[in-house]
């Protein structure tokens, strides 16, 4: 079997960022909590590979720690989305056509109708801005995505013979969903999880950019961009590198998601060629 190129490239990008985030726990070129005003807004150099920001912090170090924030938020948010959305979707599929199915799916439509940024602003107004509220907002936004996906995929399985056999054997809906349906839709969920992961990173950056995500002094890619905004004509590197980090990371995850789909679904790949 050949590995899809997009998977290899995407996974490589993603692994680099994950590795940077992990390394940042042990080592960063400079301490991101220590400001050095006299060294502010330096262009990239041997001492500071990506330059320094307006408070004299090393941008390379900030990006490494910021990757940690982005990845942690995205993982937690995808976790919430899958943890709540998938059981809801499976439950709705098991009671397909019933009142419960209707209630769950219309509830999902309701959440879907609000953009995640709006949910974040609502939560912030109630509880104050913080990285936890960003996770909650992005997580809530992920629930209907996974609920719809798993319900749709499960519905087509429920009419298949092997499920029929399980029912004849006397298995209940919970057992069937967990033992037969979930394993069969897992590849779909993994692909969607990868895509939602990249969306999570993007939304976290957007929320931090408008001040609703990670609060200072915790470094975050979105806030680095916001800080760089008025300085763009004096110190363009301050905007360039966080921007590139977001683009490459999101691109990598999307490529990986694409590649995974090709890998799991060879028919689709052949069809495309």
Partner 1 sequence: MKALVATLAASLIATTAMAQNTSITIGMQLEPPNLDPTGGAAAAIDEVVYANVFEGLTRFGSDGSVLPALASAWDINDDGTVYTFTLREGVTFHDGSDFDADDVVFTLDRARAEDSTNAQKALFAGIENVEALAPNSVQITLSSPSGNLPFNLAWGDAVIVAPESAAGNATNPIGTGPFVFSDWVQGDRVELAANPNYWGEPIALEAATFKFISDPVAAFAAMMAGDVDAFPVFPAPENLAQFDADPRFNVIVGSTEGETILAMNNSAEPFADPLVREAVALAINRQEIIDGAMFGFGTPIGTHFAPHNPAYVDLLDRSPHDPDRARELLAQAGYADGFTTTLKLPPPAYARRGGEIIAAQLRAVGIEAEIENVEWAQWLEQVFRGRDYGLTIVSHTEPMDIGIYAREDYYFAYARPAFVALMDALDVETDEAARVDLMQTAQEMIADDYVNAYLFQLAKTGVANARIEGLWENSPTQAIDLTGVRWVQ
* CB 43 to partner 1: min, Å: 16
**CB of residue 132 vs partner 1: minimum separation in angstroms?**
13
Burial degree of 109 (CB within 10 A; 0-12, 13-18, 19+): exposed
* Closest CB to partner 1 among residues 217, 236: 217
Question: Given the complex with partner 1, which of 173 and 239 has the nearer CB atom?
Answer: 239
Q: Give the Cα separation of 120 and 126 in Å (integer).
A: 10
Q: Which of 233, 270, 272, 273 binds partner 1 (CB under 8 A)?
A: 233
Q: Please list every residue from 111 through 170 that binds partner 1, using CB under 8 A.
A: 128-129
Of 198-227, binders to partner 1 (CB under 8 A) are: 211, 215-217
* Torsion on CA atoms 252, 257, 258, 262, rounded to nearest 10: 130
* Segment interacting with partner 1, rule: CB under 8 A, options 35-43, 82-90, 144-152, 262-270: 35-43
- Please identify, among the stretches 54-62, 86-94, 97-105, 254-262, the one whose residues bind partner 1 according to the rule CB under 8 A: 54-62
Give whichever of 20 and 205 is closer to partner 1, judged by the CB atom.
Answer: 205
Instruction: Output the smallest distance, CB 72 to partner 1, in A.
Output: 19
The per-residue DSSP string of 64-81 comes to HHHHHHHHHHHHHHHHHH
CA distances (Å), origin 8, targets 213, 254, 259, 260 = 31, 12, 8, 10
Residue with tokens 């033992």: 179
Structure token pair of residue 185: 């839709």
Residue 23 in contact with partner 1, rule: CB under 8 A = no
| Residue 97, Ramachandran bin (φ over 0: left; ψ between -120 and 50: alpha; else beta) | left
> Of these, 40, 96, 167, 269, which contacts partner 1 (CB under 8 A)?
40
Instruction: In the chain, count H helices and then E strands.
Output: 11, 0
Residues that bind partner 1 (CB under 8 A): 33-35, 37-38, 40, 54-56, 128-129, 211, 215-217, 229-234
């Amino acid at each position: 079997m050949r590995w899809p190129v997009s998977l290899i490239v995407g996974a490589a990008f993603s692994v680099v960022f994950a590795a940077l985030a992990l390394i940042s726990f042990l080592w960063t070129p400079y301490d991101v909590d220590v400001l050095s005003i006299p060294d502010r807004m330096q262009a990239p150099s041997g001492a500071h590979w990506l330059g320094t920001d307006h408070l004299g912090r090393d941008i390379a170090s900030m990006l490494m720690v910021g990757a940690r924030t982005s990845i942690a938020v995205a993982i937690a948010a995808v976790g919430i989305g899958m943890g709540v959305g998938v059981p809801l979707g499976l439950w709705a599929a098991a009671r397909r056509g019933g009142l419960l199915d209707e209630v769950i799916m219309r509830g999902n439509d309701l959440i879907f109708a609000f953009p995640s940024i709006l949910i974040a602003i609502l939560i912030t107004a109630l509880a104050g801005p913080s990285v936890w509220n960003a996770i909650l907002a992005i997580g809530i936004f992920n629930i209907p995505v996974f609920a719809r996906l798993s319900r749709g995929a499960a519905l087509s399985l429920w009419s298949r013979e092997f499920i029929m056999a399980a029912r004849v054997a006397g298995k209940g809906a919970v057992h069937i969903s967990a033992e037969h349906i979930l394993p069969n839709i897992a590849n779909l969920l993994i692909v969607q999880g990868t895509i939602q992961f990249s969306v999570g990173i993007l939304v976290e950056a957007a929320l931090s950019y408008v001040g609703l995500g990670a609060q200072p002094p915790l470094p975050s890619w979105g806030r680095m961009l916001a800080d760089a905004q008025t300085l763009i004509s004096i110190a363009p590197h301050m905007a360039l590198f966080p921007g590139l980090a977001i683009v490459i990371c999101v691109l990598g995850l999307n490529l990986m998601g694409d590649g995974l789909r090709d890998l799991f679904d060879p028919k689709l790949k052949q069809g495309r060629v």
